[in-house]
Amino acid sequence: MANAIDIMIPYWGDPGRLVAAVDSVRAQTSPDWRLTVVDDCYPDPTAGLAIQSIDDPRITYLRNETNLGITGNFRTCVRLARAEYTVVMGCDDLLGSRYVATVGEAVSHYPGADIVQVGVEVIDEVGRPSSGLVDTVKRRMLAPRGERPVVLAGEDAAASLLRGDWLYWPSLAFKTASVQRHDFRDGFPVIQDLALLIDMVVDGASLLYYPRTVFSYRRHRESASQAAARAGDRFAGEAEYYRVAARLMDRAGWTRAARVARRRVISRLHAVALMPRALARADRGVLRLLAHHALERDPRT
């Protein structure tokens, strides 16, 4: 299975963390990978020079002619993939040494899987294990229970993800042909991953949860999603997307998933959980945004 997985890294950020991410790819027990770093015109050339100095034909460094932004660079990464499976890895995340081998094992047992979610540990800025509220909810309330693989498809998959996105996008392995049939939706930069996943599920994609922990996801306060959540901006985009998703579910005839999208309970509770911080800062603007998101009602719920 030479080059069975294309690992794509859309890069913008700390050069040291990118080098660590690349090193984690190079440390794989399986050789069946190819790595492409797509630099979105980050002003510091340090990372690019470091990657280009690595003598390994499986590693490619590309630099965009202009800055494409988060969604644009993700599109580029997906478009460039050629292997049977594709990973769009975060430039500050880390692969466990058996990540590629584990994905290969998973798809050999479940060859129909279009999306593979392996087990994930969450780390902080300096690499220490981290378990905040968001990840505790994902693990204990939203993700499938137990240590056995689980396959979800159709309305079951849509309802599960719309109840609360328990996946970790940078750790997902996609069947390349399946993910390339879809595009990221414009206007949802923070929730673009969920939007694409739902589009894939509506189109017939299946999701495999293979709970062997082989990926380290870095969660830190500087991340785009955390910054947007603190500012309240995230939730305006989430509310709009859930309205879009509810209409998609209606068209598919998935009434249960449509109700889940309109209720968006976990998204509302996330906003509620951030309200004490906004109150402590006396940030009335953010507090109003969070309260509106938490209390807004859809006329069809």
Classify burial at 77, counting beta carbons within 10 Å of its beta carbon; exposed 0-12, middle 13-18, buried 19 or more: buried
3-class DSSP assignment, residue 106 = helix
Torsion of CA 127, 220, 97, 61, to 10 degrees: -120
Radius of gyration of the chain (CA): 19
User: Would you state the pLDDT for residue 3?
Assistant: 46
- CA 207 and chain centroid, separation: 14
Amino acid present at 183 = D
CATH architecture of 5-224: Alpha-Beta Complex (3.90)
Q: CB of 88 within 8 A of CB of 208? A: no
Per run of 10 residues, the mean pLDDT along the chain (length 301 residues) is 80 95 98 97 94 96 95 95 97 97 96 97 91 89 93 98 97 98 89 96 98 94 54 79 96 98 92 85 84 81 56
User: Would you state the pLDDT for residue 253?
Assistant: 98
Amino acid present at 214 = V
Q: CB of 197 within 8 A of CB of 240? A: no
Q: CB of 144 within 8 A of CB of 188? A: no
